[in-house]
Amino acid sequence: MAADSTPAFGAIIIGDEILSGRREDKHFGKVVELLKARGLRLASSRHVGDERPRLVQTLKESFAGGDIVFSFGGIGATPDDHTRQAAAEALGVPLALHPEAEAEIRARFGDETTPQRLQMGVYPLGAEIIPNPYNRIPGFSIANHYFVPGFPVMAWPMIEWVLDQRLAHLHHKADYVERSVIAWEALEGKLIDLMEAITADFPDATLFSLPSVGGDGVPRHIELGMKGPLASVETAMARITDELTRRGYAWEPRADL
């Protein structure tokens, strides 16, 4: 749990095709975006391949951690899909055909429903379904973990549904903001004393510094900012910008935080 008692959020992105570079991961950035829009933030993210023993170990560690976790990929019925089975093994529970998932799959395929297609509704015992607005093949949730397909067109609306239907009570609950400025032509070495003073004076917030050498017409710069409780962040940023001005640096707010 975070210090403000809001649960931490994590992501697990599954698939050999991501690790081999055959496909580019798009889920990480989208999860950050969806959480941020609701006053939430991502605390961890892991990429893991389709190897079942490694996936089981990853899920055991994740289930034991207590975070709310979104898992992408590997919930189909082909031989390289192991997420459903790995989740059941990690929790030590059997797999079972979920009646609501079965109803959705039969509604989707009608007379073309096959045992292979019904396998997509076989989840760890005790799971609940996550509706899939794209093709009606549900995902599932269990133990604060939400399992969705790897396809963004399905996964992203399913995650939004979870956030808005299951987790709406957590939206904008935390007293947490991020603010930063771009200090042009600044060097970290010449601002360390300022950073140390701010860190000491605002222990309930976190300072961050992201230097850049510039390029393509953009001069050298540092993004300098704070994250944490609103009052502390705003006071700290006022101190930072006053000091940057005093030292002769041009600066401007980072607009997209």
Instruction: Provide the sign of the torsion angle of the four alpha carbons 104, 14, 116, 153, taken in this order.
Output: positive
Q: What is the pTM of this model?
A: 0.88
Every domain of the chain and the residues it spans: 9-170, 177-253
DSSP-derived secondary structure for 99-148: HHHHHHHHHHHGGG--HHHHGGGEEETT-EEE--TTTS--EEEETTEEEE
Q: Tell me the CATH class for 9-170.
A: alpha beta
Name the CATH topology of 177-253. Answer: Alpha-Beta Plaits (3.30.70)
**Interval 93-126: pLDDT, tens:** 999 999 999 999 999 999 999 999 999 999 999 9
CB 84 within 8 A of CB 124: yes
pLDDT band at 3 (very low <50, low <70, confident <90, very high): very low
